[in-house]
Amino acid sequence: MTAQIDKTPWQGILPATATPFDENNQVSERAMLALMERNLKEGAAGFFIGGSSAECFLLSHQERIRTFEIAAEMKGQTRLAAHVGALGTDEAIDLAKAAKGLGFDLISATAPFYYKHSMDAIARYYTDIFQAVEIPILIYNFPGNTGVEFDLSHPAIRKLLASGAIAGVKHTNRDLYQLERFRDRNPDLLLFCGFDEILSGAEAMGCDGAIGSTFNFMLPHYLKLWNACKRGDRDAVLSLQHSANVIMETIVSIGLIPSIKAILRMQGIDMGLPRRPFLPVTPEQEKQIAQVLEQYPEK
């Protein structure tokens, strides 16, 4: 079995779905499905479940699986990718098996971090996951958080990318040169932009779609940006990316995940509080967020 997949259904914008919590700090099925249903109506091409925006490494193992179970209720209506990355291969495989059993279309994994693994060990991690479940894998390339810089010239990584185990890359990295180099190593890879603030640049470098956090609350805006990129409307691209980035700059300065939860609450979906040690948005910060959203309404 190889990881080659039909790229066409995945081309577009996929929210990296946030994890809602109820008043008891438990994963809220009601709120998660409400958010996914809204995003689907707005035009989401699919969903990325259990990633950084989902506070994945602040969830217990069972809570991560619980988010997969909830998302799987949307199976048949959309495409689903599950993030299964972990510090250890065995845990990643266990999560991958859960996603497979629930009918997910793709799995994704950050490189193993904290310990400084060699490129040979990292390549083996992905190979072991694939051999255990035989589901196409997206490498979740997020060096800013993992501290892992993929060496695309390393023989083990070159072999991995050509092995059939890897379907594509979620490129959460502002290095667009590296995005193009992934394509060079294997032209069949499915490439996603993972940083919303460089979507237009990543599209120009040949990405097939985008997976992002702010798509949770401003998906229509990014669909307009994506479509402007596709038709080559440079003025619209620059304007739409600019307004998105002003919003991004504001919420990142406050705290990305707490801000996303606050905005979704403003929009009528109660996501609860972010997991500690994240701090909730203060009333003053919420006013600041509201002001920037008013200043740059969807065009």
CB 226, CB 12: distance < 8 Å: yes
Instruction: Please give the full DSSP string across 58-127, using - where no structure is assigned.
Output: GS-HHHHHHHHHHHGGGBTTB-EEEE---SSHHHHHHHHHHHHHTT-SEEEEEPP-SS---HHHHHHHHH
Measured distance CA(44)–CA(281) in Å, rounded: 27
Active site residues: 140, 170
Long-range residue pairs from 183-192, CB within 8 A, at least 24 positions apart, any chain: 185/152, 185/157, 185/158, 185/161, 186/161, 186/162, 188/4, 189/161, 190/5, 190/7, 190/10, 190/138, 192/10, 192/14, 192/138, 192/168
Give the C-alpha distances (Å, rounded to integers) separating 139 from 3, 99, 202: 12, 16, 16
* Tokens standing for residue 67: 């988010």
